[in-house]
Copies of this chain bind each other. A is one copy, B any other.
Amino acid sequence: MNTIPSRSTFDLSLYLVLDPEMCGGVAGMARVTEAAINGGVSIVQLRALEWRKRAFWEAARALQPLCRARDVPFIINDHVDVALAIDADGVHVGQKDLPAKEARRLLGENKIIGVSVSNAQQWREAETGTADYIGVGPVWLTPTKPEAGPALGVDGLRSLIASMKSQGSTMRTLAIGGINVNNARSVMQTAGVDGIAVVSAICANGAPEEAARALCEVIES
Protein backbone atom coordinates (compact mmCIF):
# COMPACT_ATOMS: atom_id res chain seq x y z
CA MET A 1 0.00 0.00 0.00
CA ASN A 2 2.80 2.40 0.85
CA THR A 3 3.95 3.83 -2.42
CA ILE A 4 5.97 6.72 -1.04
CA PRO A 5 8.90 7.18 -3.43
CA SER A 6 12.24 5.86 -2.24
CA ARG A 7 15.39 7.80 -1.34
CA SER A 8 16.49 7.85 -4.93
CA THR A 9 13.21 8.34 -6.74
CA PHE A 10 11.38 11.04 -4.78
CA ASP A 11 10.46 14.21 -6.61
CA LEU A 12 12.25 17.27 -5.26
CA SER A 13 10.80 19.76 -7.73
CA LEU A 14 8.42 21.73 -5.50
CA TYR A 15 9.19 21.38 -1.82
CA LEU A 16 6.79 22.90 0.69
CA VAL A 17 8.06 23.85 4.13
CA LEU A 18 5.07 24.20 6.44
CA ASP A 19 5.22 27.09 8.89
CA PRO A 20 2.64 26.80 11.68
CA GLU A 21 2.40 30.52 12.35
CA MET A 22 1.88 31.45 8.69
CA CYS A 23 -0.62 28.66 8.11
CA GLY A 24 -2.57 29.25 11.31
CA GLY A 25 -1.76 26.25 13.50
CA VAL A 26 -2.33 22.57 12.80
CA ALA A 27 -5.73 23.01 11.15
CA GLY A 28 -4.27 25.67 8.87
CA MET A 29 -1.29 23.49 8.01
CA ALA A 30 -3.66 20.65 7.15
CA ARG A 31 -5.63 22.88 4.80
CA VAL A 32 -2.47 24.24 3.18
CA THR A 33 -0.98 20.76 2.81
CA GLU A 34 -4.00 19.36 1.00
CA ALA A 35 -4.37 22.40 -1.23
CA ALA A 36 -0.66 22.57 -2.02
CA ILE A 37 -0.54 18.89 -2.95
CA ASN A 38 -3.52 19.46 -5.23
CA GLY A 39 -1.54 22.28 -6.80
CA GLY A 40 1.50 20.09 -7.41
CA VAL A 41 3.78 20.19 -4.35
CA SER A 42 5.93 17.06 -4.54
CA ILE A 43 7.32 16.85 -0.99
CA VAL A 44 6.31 18.39 2.35
CA GLN A 45 8.36 19.30 5.40
CA LEU A 46 7.05 20.24 8.84
CA ARG A 47 9.20 22.90 10.47
CA ALA A 48 8.24 24.49 13.78
CA LEU A 49 11.42 25.77 15.37
CA GLU A 50 9.61 27.40 18.29
CA TRP A 51 7.43 24.43 19.14
CA ARG A 52 8.08 22.02 21.95
CA LYS A 53 8.20 18.40 20.92
CA ARG A 54 4.81 17.24 22.16
CA ALA A 55 3.04 19.81 20.01
CA PHE A 56 5.35 19.04 17.08
CA TRP A 57 4.67 15.32 17.38
CA GLU A 58 0.92 15.89 17.54
CA ALA A 59 1.03 18.13 14.45
CA ALA A 60 3.16 15.59 12.61
CA ARG A 61 0.70 12.81 13.38
CA ALA A 62 -2.13 14.95 12.02
CA LEU A 63 -0.34 15.98 8.82
CA GLN A 64 1.45 12.78 7.84
CA PRO A 65 -1.69 10.89 6.69
CA LEU A 66 -2.59 13.76 4.33
CA CYS A 67 0.75 13.36 2.57
CA ARG A 68 0.77 9.58 2.68
CA ALA A 69 -2.68 9.45 1.07
CA ARG A 70 -1.19 11.28 -1.92
CA ASP A 71 2.17 9.44 -2.00
CA VAL A 72 3.97 12.65 -1.11
CA PRO A 73 6.98 12.22 1.19
CA PHE A 74 6.53 13.82 4.61
CA ILE A 75 9.76 15.13 6.11
CA ILE A 76 10.42 16.23 9.71
CA ASN A 77 12.65 19.22 10.34
CA ASP A 78 15.30 18.75 13.01
CA HIS A 79 13.63 16.18 15.30
CA VAL A 80 14.90 12.72 14.43
CA ASP A 81 13.05 11.35 17.45
CA VAL A 82 9.73 12.61 16.14
CA ALA A 83 10.55 11.15 12.71
CA LEU A 84 11.25 7.79 14.33
CA ALA A 85 8.15 7.96 16.51
CA ILE A 86 5.79 8.54 13.58
CA ASP A 87 7.81 6.64 10.96
CA ALA A 88 8.15 9.74 8.78
CA ASP A 89 9.67 9.45 5.33
CA GLY A 90 12.73 11.40 6.37
CA VAL A 91 14.28 14.34 8.17
CA HIS A 92 15.79 17.64 7.20
CA VAL A 93 18.65 18.87 9.36
CA GLY A 94 20.30 22.26 9.44
CA GLN A 95 23.77 23.12 10.62
CA LYS A 96 22.50 23.59 14.19
CA ASP A 97 20.72 20.24 14.29
CA LEU A 98 22.12 16.73 14.64
CA PRO A 99 24.73 15.95 11.97
CA ALA A 100 23.39 14.05 8.95
CA LYS A 101 25.67 11.14 9.82
CA GLU A 102 23.97 10.71 13.21
CA ALA A 103 20.54 11.11 11.63
CA ARG A 104 21.40 8.39 9.11
CA ARG A 105 22.60 6.06 11.84
CA LEU A 106 19.35 6.52 13.76
CA LEU A 107 16.98 6.43 10.77
CA GLY A 108 18.56 3.63 8.77
CA GLU A 109 19.14 3.28 5.06
CA ASN A 110 15.59 3.72 3.79
CA LYS A 111 14.73 7.23 4.95
CA ILE A 112 15.27 10.50 3.11
CA ILE A 113 17.78 12.87 4.70
CA GLY A 114 18.21 16.47 3.60
CA VAL A 115 20.73 18.98 4.87
CA SER A 116 20.81 22.79 4.69
CA VAL A 117 24.12 24.03 3.35
CA SER A 118 25.50 27.46 2.53
CA ASN A 119 29.02 26.66 1.40
CA ALA A 120 31.34 24.02 -0.03
CA GLN A 121 32.48 22.66 3.31
CA GLN A 122 28.95 22.07 4.54
CA TRP A 123 28.09 20.50 1.18
CA ARG A 124 30.95 18.00 1.52
CA GLU A 125 29.94 17.14 5.07
CA ALA A 126 26.37 16.52 3.96
CA GLU A 127 27.63 14.25 1.21
CA THR A 128 29.79 12.31 3.70
CA GLY A 129 26.76 12.06 5.96
CA THR A 130 24.90 10.32 3.11
CA ALA A 131 22.36 13.06 2.61
CA ASP A 132 19.91 12.45 -0.23
CA TYR A 133 19.56 16.10 -1.12
CA ILE A 134 20.79 19.43 0.06
CA GLY A 135 18.91 22.65 0.53
CA VAL A 136 21.26 25.35 -0.74
CA GLY A 137 20.66 28.84 0.51
CA PRO A 138 19.49 31.22 1.52
CA VAL A 139 19.20 32.45 -2.06
CA TRP A 140 17.58 35.59 -0.70
CA LEU A 141 17.16 36.73 2.88
CA THR A 142 13.89 35.82 4.47
CA PRO A 143 12.13 36.74 7.69
CA THR A 144 11.01 33.10 8.17
CA LYS A 145 14.53 31.98 8.97
CA PRO A 146 16.45 34.93 10.38
CA GLU A 147 19.20 32.62 11.63
CA ALA A 148 20.16 31.64 8.08
CA GLY A 149 23.44 33.15 6.96
CA PRO A 150 24.03 35.86 4.33
CA ALA A 151 22.17 35.49 1.06
CA LEU A 152 23.95 33.68 -1.77
CA GLY A 153 21.94 35.32 -4.52
CA VAL A 154 21.34 33.49 -7.77
CA ASP A 155 24.96 34.06 -8.77
CA GLY A 156 26.29 32.60 -5.54
CA LEU A 157 23.94 29.63 -5.88
CA ARG A 158 25.05 29.03 -9.46
CA SER A 159 28.73 29.25 -8.66
CA LEU A 160 28.54 26.98 -5.59
CA ILE A 161 26.63 24.30 -7.50
CA ALA A 162 28.91 24.55 -10.54
CA SER A 163 32.00 24.28 -8.38
CA MET A 164 30.75 21.23 -6.49
CA LYS A 165 29.50 19.45 -9.61
CA SER A 166 32.85 20.07 -11.27
CA GLN A 167 34.42 18.32 -8.29
CA GLY A 168 32.27 15.29 -8.95
CA SER A 169 29.31 15.84 -6.63
CA THR A 170 26.13 14.14 -7.78
CA MET A 171 24.06 15.52 -4.90
CA ARG A 172 20.51 16.57 -5.69
CA THR A 173 19.93 20.21 -4.87
CA LEU A 174 17.07 22.30 -3.67
CA ALA A 175 17.23 26.09 -3.70
CA ILE A 176 15.77 27.73 -0.60
CA GLY A 177 15.31 31.20 0.81
CA GLY A 178 12.95 33.91 -0.35
CA ILE A 179 11.78 32.08 -3.48
CA ASN A 180 8.39 33.02 -4.90
CA VAL A 181 6.54 32.88 -8.20
CA ASN A 182 8.26 36.03 -9.42
CA ASN A 183 11.85 34.97 -8.91
CA ALA A 184 11.49 31.18 -9.25
CA ARG A 185 12.35 31.26 -12.95
CA SER A 186 15.75 32.82 -12.37
CA VAL A 187 16.49 30.13 -9.79
CA MET A 188 15.36 27.24 -11.98
CA GLN A 189 17.54 28.49 -14.80
CA THR A 190 20.49 27.96 -12.50
CA ALA A 191 22.14 24.82 -13.80
CA GLY A 192 21.91 21.91 -11.41
CA VAL A 193 18.97 22.88 -9.23
CA ASP A 194 16.59 19.95 -8.92
CA GLY A 195 13.88 21.87 -7.16
CA ILE A 196 12.82 24.86 -5.16
CA ALA A 197 11.65 25.08 -1.57
CA VAL A 198 9.09 27.63 -0.50
CA VAL A 199 7.58 28.67 2.78
CA SER A 200 5.66 31.95 2.59
CA ALA A 201 5.01 31.72 -1.17
CA ILE A 202 2.50 28.99 -0.32
CA CYS A 203 1.86 29.17 3.45
CA ALA A 204 1.17 32.90 3.47
CA ASN A 205 -0.81 32.85 0.24
CA GLY A 206 -4.56 32.90 0.68
CA ALA A 207 -4.89 30.55 -2.29
CA PRO A 208 -2.25 27.86 -1.65
CA GLU A 209 -3.44 25.53 -4.40
CA GLU A 210 -3.17 28.23 -7.05
CA ALA A 211 0.14 29.38 -5.60
CA ALA A 212 1.55 25.86 -5.88
CA ARG A 213 0.18 25.47 -9.39
CA ALA A 214 1.77 28.72 -10.52
CA LEU A 215 5.12 27.66 -9.08
CA CYS A 216 4.82 24.29 -10.83
CA GLU A 217 4.25 26.01 -14.14
CA VAL A 218 7.43 27.99 -13.69
CA ILE A 219 9.36 24.84 -12.74
CA GLU A 220 8.07 22.87 -15.71
CA SER A 221 8.59 25.64 -18.23
Interface hits, A34-57 → B, CB 8 Å: 52-55, 57
Q: Which of A92-100, A148-156, A157-165, A189-197 contacts B (4 or more CB under 8 A)?
A: A92-100
Whether A79 is near chain B, meaning CB under 8 Å from some CB there, is yes
Interface hits, A7-58 → B, CB 8 Å: 52-55, 57
Nearest-neighbour CB distance to chain B for A99, whole angstroms, equals: 7
In the complex, per-residue mask of A77-107: 1 if CB is within 8 Å of any chain B CB, else 0: 0111110110000000001111100100110
In the assembled complex, the Cα of A85 lies from the Cα of B78 at a distance in Å of 14
Question: Contacts A53-B78, A78-B53 hold; do A85 and B102 have CB atoms under 8 A apart?
Answer: yes
**A98: which of B81, B96, B97, B99 is its contact (CB, 8 Å)?**
B81
Q: Which residues of B contact A85 (CB under 8 A)?
A: 80, 98, 102, 105-106
Can you give 16 A-B contacts (C-beta < 8 A)? A52-B97, A53-B97, A54-B96, A54-B99, A55-B96, A79-B81, A80-B81, A80-B85, A81-B81, A81-B84, A81-B98, A81-B106, A84-B84, A84-B106, A85-B102, A85-B105
